[in-house]
Amino acid sequence: MSDTATSAINIEKVLQTLGVEALNHGASTGNVWLETSGETITSFSPVDGKAIAAVRSAQLNDYETVVKKAQEAFVTWRTKPAPHRGEVIRQLAEKLRLYKNELGQLVSYEMGKSLQEGLGEVQEMIDICDFAVGLSRQLYGLTMHSERPDHRMYEQYHPLGIVGIISAFNFPVAVWNWNTALAWVCGDVCIWKPSEKAPLTAIACQKITQEVFAANDVPEGVSGLVIGGAELGKTMAEDTRVPLISATGSTRMGKSVGAAVGARLGKSLLELGGNNAIIITPTADLPMVIPGAVFGAVGTGGQRCTSTRRLIIHDSIYEKVKESLVKAYGQLKIGNPLDQNNHVGPVIDKDAVNMYLKALEDVQAEGGKVLVPGGVLEGPGYESGCYVKPAIVEADNNFKMVQHETFAPILYIMKYSGAVENAIAIQNNVPQGLSSAIMTNNIKESEAFLSYAGSDCGIANVNIGTSGAEIGGAFGGEKETGGGRESGSDAWKVYMRRQTNTINYGNSLPLAQGIKFTI
């Protein structure tokens, strides 16, 4: 571990700049922080195990206050012209640029991802704000031809109301902003329940947003925040006043949220587990394959929903790829993520460590062969107990642990033989369907992978890895990944309700389908 790592940031100065205090309140209606009195949540950094700051969590009465303020704000906010709302989001992007270094450092220190990834996450926030500004002038509908004379048909989109956002620890700020930037320009108001494992980044985001909203007289309640446990999330999911719940997390959590929202016929946007694979064909360019596979597997400590979990390698190049992977893993530097010389930082907490160790134990019990052994790192620089070694295991795709998403740096490798369709069948034979990739220089193979009979994932890449996505495209997956779409393309439509309009500008009242009715 580098001696310069611990001095990479001054966390006290970062917190002061972002307005995060030693003990914070865990609920806000926008410009007002509520005097919460719930359980105290102390945020410990997985980087060094030190307590950063604490939050008094929100209680159900605090949630009720935030919801009522959001309802009141929606009545006003939805009347603002969309380009006006876009201008507010443009200013938010500028404010995020101003605070990018500090917020990126806090993301890295509280969550454990590398500093470059922390800064990159804030850049995603800036990018989605820029996207939303343009979108604010493009909330388009279609015009259709009516079958009736002197009639015009068209469709338009209206804001839904309150959007409830439940986010995970691994992207503690970007996913929130993926939702809010679009929802706000659409005329919605938002209530955010962040992960209890990363509450301080949420408070920082709320305070940055407050600066912008206060300067633009945005109604109090447009940006709500409640920090707390599963009970708050359950309450939000069951609340009929919240027409849309956007939830990011495990498949188990998503099934619970989806059932609760579905029971009241609400709308849900679910971004759940991934079990992402890269297919490596005989024509693959190995100098591209190895960096893409390694970063996909170990980046963010293997805690991305798009992390590479499986490599499906053609048997003719299997030994060569395996040898290159083992060599690359031997060069990985594990340590403080704020030191840019390190490749891999810690996992989020001790529970994640135990899950990682149990997964390695279980896959070996099923017959998996360890190529690069795992384990927990100890000694100077690893005092938090959250640093683990990225592992590689030869395994069968049908192993129970391979079918399961383990949120840790464990990479499973396996062979395929014959045509690329055999590899695609292996890739698709898991419950999840988020991200996928193929490494090939054969156009027939790449087209087969992208065809209707190819990858069944929401994201399918050619000659890049599974990890990471640009905000311009819709992000999400199929099967147990939940089917939701966030970020770019036409993902904005989920935050709105569609309405079909028919206008009769003639002097008679013809009925559709030629029906005659006289009195």
The residues annotated as belonging to the active site are 271, 305
- Count of CB atoms situated within 10 Å of the CB of 419: 14
Secondary structure in 3-state letters for 73-112:
HHHHHCCCCHHHHHHHHHHHHHHHHHCHHHHHHHHHHHHC
Q: Taking the mean position of all CA atoms in its chain, how far away is CA 205?
A: 16
Alpha carbon distance 416, 421 (integer Å): 10
C-alpha torsion 240→246→248→249, nearest 10 = 20
Residue 394 backbone zone (phi > 0: left; psi -120 to 50: alpha; other: beta) = beta
Q: How far, CA to CA in Å, does 258 sit from each of 188, 251, 271, 304?
A: 21, 10, 11, 21
Give helix then strand counts, H and E, for the chain.
15, 23
Which of 409, 426, 296, 412 shows the shortest CA–CA distance to 357?
409
Structure tokens given for 256: 């619970």
CB 183 within 8 A of CB 26: no
Q: Taking the mean position of all CA atoms in its chain, how far away is CA 187?
A: 22
- Which residue in the block uniquely carries the two structure tokens 């006043």? 241
